[in-house]
Amino acid sequence: MKVRLLAALVALGWGVASAAEGSGGYAGAFLRMGLAPRAQAMGDAYVAVPQGAYVGLYNPAGVALLPGPEFAVAAGALTLDRSLFVVGFSLPVRPKGHGAMDGGVGFTWIHAGVDNIDGRDSDGVPIGTFSNSENAFALTFAVRPHRVLTVGLTGAILYNRLPGVTRENGALTSSGVGLTAGAMLTPWRGLTVGVALHNINAKYTWNTEKVYERGTAVTDRFPVSLRMGASYRLGEDKMLASVELEQNEKLGTLYRLGIEAAIAKQLALRGGLNNGRLRVGVGFIFPVLGHRAGLDYAYLASVEGLGADHMFGWVFYL
């Protein structure tokens, strides 16, 4: 019984922490927290923004619209002993020849973890602290079959690990595969309309026979969500505004707003609302080895009493 209770507590891991911030308590919560500092500073209203190395996670179709290859790294200083680390690379493909179709590819690794989870038995007696980590390895493909239309698909291998919870003090693990399908329309200069269906078939299946004698298989499905929105870019990156609506099968309807304004040639201020929660940030562009590089920061206001999260990112435009 002691082990059973422990397993139940630990299995909630990141989900419990994330539920406190409104992203749910359901499987795959780390993917709903937002990933790129630039996107998060804009309220995570990014399904219709075809920019950034992580664009394939928001809308796979955006990879085909990138102006050039991008590499990015991001990390978070988060509340509730959580950690988040993201690495992404995206490459647009421009084949030559009559009838050749533009496209793009991208890869992203996401690592999220929770430490210092308080373990207790069925009598409420402390039995130690535990941790949980989740990873997603995502590969994106996109093509542009028409001048105004791009479509794409992201496939992600999901891996969840709960160390020290089995009867032999080993790790309980689960893996799965999830898909995201998306499309973007660019009917005229500056305007982009995007739609993406997230978490298709994404799930964890837990076999708890190693946790307690009468263990069984339990499946935790990621909530499927449909995100749709529009963005408008004014001038040569002088200003970018975006709006987004999400219909999540567990969390209901969510809305997001974001804006980015270049107040100088190398400096941009950002702000937004993620379902009512304030997001602000800043981006700074500078030259490195003949290329452009950028530093991004996002301040993420949390629910009352939990403090704020901070995301930091570095982008290299190849």
Between CA 156 and CA 151 the distance in angstroms is: 17
Strands (E), 163-202: 172-185, 191-200
What digits encode the pLDDT tens for the residues 120-171? 777 888 878 888 899 999 999 999 999 999 999 999 999 999 888 888 888 8
The pTM of the full predicted model, rounded to 2 decimals, is: 0.88
CA atoms within 13 A on the CB side of 304: 0
Between CA 1 and CA 291 the distance in angstroms is: 59
The answer to which of 60-64, 126-130, 131-135, 227-231 has the lowest mean pLDDT is 126-130
How far is Cα of residue 11 from the mean position of the Cα atoms in its chain? 20
- Quote the pLDDT of residue 32: 85
* Helix runs in 49-177, H state only: 55-58
Q: Which of 93, 85, 134, 88 is nearest to 107 (CA)?
A: 88
Helix or strand run (H / E) with residue 9: helix 2-19
pLDDT band at 99 (very low <50, low <70, confident <90, very high): confident
The answer to whether the beta carbons of residues 292 and 317 sit under 8 Å apart is yes
